[in-house]
Structure 1
Amino acid sequence: MPRAVREQQMLDAAVQIFGRRGYMAASMDEIAELAGVSKPLVYLYLNSKEDLFSACIRREAAALTQAVRAGVRPGLPADRQLWEGLTAFFTHTARHPDGWAVLHLQARTHGEPFATEIAALREELVAFVTLLIAEAAREAHRDPDLPEREVAGLAEALVGAAESLADWANATEGVTARQAAATLMNFAWAGLGDLMAGRPWTPPATEDG
């Protein structure tokens, strides 16, 4: 069997074990057994448990970002692009719950170098959403130059909400990817639509004016 194919089998097994048992509880023996290879072969290909986990993070992060980008068709209105991106995100996390658990639950709790890998994934998703929000502002012809900090904050909030909602959707029976995407669109786009239309929410005045 070609090395690349066998390595993917090992990564498949590792993602399943890490996603379901957690990084600390997972053993290389379990991973080797599930992959149908010897433990020395896992070490030969992927060096150590830490390197194996890092390889899982990189693979799952690349697959997620590719799925989101591929799901968005250029040229559509900004709300349709955001809808398609969210639908692609929730579809992928629903189809690959172990991979999502590795990215969002396991990698975040074990420090470096795993946190750096996850930060890179999140930065890419936030940058992508930032472009969509900026494009929506340009389309609205109301406020084509929203403050950069405000756009960045909106993108961070939207990505954070999507991450939490993916956890909830995967743990809640009967919630589809489209339903999760619609929930977030109803939550987020109504507010974004008002903002683009020049109707931002403003906080009440303080007692001292």
Structure 2
Amino acid sequence: MGAVKTKRMPRAVREQQMLDAAVETFGRRGYMAASMDEIAELAGVSKPLVYLYLNSKEDLFTACIRREAKSLVEAVRAGVRTDLPADRQLWAGLRAFFAHTAQHPYAWSVLHLQARTHGEPFAAEVAAMREEIVAFVTQLIVVAAREALPHPRLRSCGGTPTAPDLAEREVAGLAEALVGAAESLAAWANATAGVTSRQAAATLMNFAWSGLGDLMNGRPWSPPPD
């Protein structure tokens, strides 16, 4: 009787296996210290096969960034139900963000630390992801402003309900600040024992929503005169 032939693994499955190993290695050791030998060994394949599938270390790292960025954005979007009140939408988005970064610490290290510090092509990939998340958060803030319309100080401008003191530039700035705070807090939470993703989300929600709530209700903080 002839030898039993093992079933070949589909290319797409094998490639994901290599990316899993690469994300862990890059996230744990850093881009410069990670070696293709180590990645191949962790993936259970030969180094030539890694090169055959993914061309080079640079292309492999880029593929890791793109996959993990897409996964994070999808997780945040999927976590938000648009039929909920504005504060619940923001809370759900934060919960999804912190849960994903906690469950995938190596991926978050790749996106937040490694990709931003090893050259413009890698940083540009992460910047594209960040722009998408900032745009999504901007819409959540616009929803909050829309819900606050019953307040007499609020009006409709150009067909889009907004607060008169909440100009387009300010909305964009608030979204940038919120995303930046979430990124830093996720890095801190992943490095701090005992901090859960829910606790991290609640910390930022308390920090952000108290201020946003006053702002939407016509009670902004005003700086003292120069």
Q: TM-score surpassing 0.5? A: yes
SS in structure 2 of the partner of residue 119 of structure 1: helix
Q: Deviations over 1:14-64 (max 9, x none)?
A: 000000000000000000000000000000000000000000000000000
Q: How much does 1:111 deviate? A: 1.4
Q: How does 1:17-56 map to 2 (within 5 A)?
A: 17-56=25-64
Residue in structure 2 matched with residue 85 of structure 1 by the alignment: 93
Kindly indicate which of the two structures has a greater share of residues assigned to helix: 1
Q: 1:180 aligns with which of 197, 200, 207?
A: 200
Q: Which amino acid aligns with 2:202?
A: A
Distance in 1 between residues matched to 2:60 and 2:23, nearest whole Å: 9
After TM superposition, which residue ranges in structure 1, 4 or more long, deviate above 3 angstroms?
none
Q: Deviations over 1:83-132 (max 9, x none)?
A: 00000000000000000000000000011210110010000000000000
Distance in 1 between residues matched to 2:225 and 2:170, nearest whole Å: 20
Q: 1:156 aligns with which of 176, 186, 190?
A: 176
Quick check: 1:196 aligned with 2:204? no
Residue in structure 2 matched with residue 76 of structure 1 by the alignment: 84
Q: Which amino acid aligns with 2:66?
A: R
Q: Which amino acid aligns with 1:36?
A: G
Q: Which amino acid aligns with 1:149?
A: R
Q: Deviations over 1:142-199 (max 9, x none)?
A: 4332311000000000000000000010011111111100000110100000000000
Distance in 1 between residues matched to 2:94 and 2:34, nearest whole Å: 31
Instruction: Specify every segment of 5 or more residues in structure 1 that has no aligned partner in the other structure, as ranges.
Output: none
Q: 1:115 aligns with which of 115, 123, 136?
A: 123
Q: How much does 1:75 deviate? A: 1.0
Distance in 1 between residues matched to 2:194 and 2:123, nearest whole Å: 32
SS in structure 2 of the partner of residue 14 of structure 1: helix
Q: How much does 1:205 deviate? A: 1.0
Distance in 2 between residues matched to 1:160 and 1:187, nearest whole Å: 13
Distance in 2 between residues matched to 1:119 and 1:137, nearest whole Å: 27
Distance in 2 between residues matched to 1:108 and 1:74, nearest whole Å: 32
Matched pairs, number:
206
Residue in structure 2 matched with residue 137 of structure 1 by the alignment: 145
Residue in structure 1 matched with residue 191 of structure 2 by the alignment: 171
SS in structure 2 of the partner of residue 113 of structure 1: helix
Q: Which amino acid aligns with 1:191?
A: G
Q: RMSD between aligned alpha carbons?
A: 0.6
